[in-house]
Amino acid sequence: MGIPVTVRVLLANPTAPSPEGERALQHARAAARRFGDAAEVQPVALDDPAVRMLSIGVEPTVLVGDLAIAVGIAPPAGHLVRAIERALAKEEKHD
C-alpha cells in the first residue's frame, strides 16, 4: 500500500470546532473509516503556516489530498467517499 490519502479538515480551533466544523470532522471520519489505513483525517488549524499559504480562512474547509471538496459547509460523507476513491485511484496510477 502507498501513502494514505489525507483528508484535512481546516478549522479555526481544532480542539473546539464550530458545530459545522464538528459535522465536517464526523463526515470525514465516517468516510475515511471505509478505507481503513488507506485514508486518514487530520484536523488542521486555519492559522497553520501551510494553510495560511493557501489563503484559506473559512471554517470548515475540507481537502482530500490537495483538492478542496467543501468550503464553509460540511460535505456529505458520500461526497468524501467518492473523492477518496478518486484520490486512491490516482495514487495507484502513479505507483
Which CATH number is 76's domain given? Answer: 3.40.30.10
Using an 8 Å Cβ cutoff, are 8 and 42 in contact?
A: yes
Cα-based distances in Å from 11 to 40, 64, 87: 16, 15, 22
User: One digit per residue, pLDDT tens: the chain, 95 residues?
Assistant: 567 899 999 999 999 999 999 999 999 999 999 999 999 999 999 999 988 888 888 999 999 998 999 999 999 999 999 999 999 998 777 65
> Amino acid identity of 56?
I
Domain containing 38 equals 5-94
What does the pLDDT read at residue 95? Answer: 58
Residue 15 grid cell: 480542539
Strands 39-45 and 5-11: parallel
The three-class DSSP label of residue 10 is: strand
Residue 13 grid cell: 480551533
Please report the sign of the dihedral spanned by the C-alpha atoms of residue 82, residue 60, residue 15, residue 47.
positive
**Overall number of domains in the chain:** 1
Helix locations, 11-95, DSSP H:
19-33, 49-54, 77-94
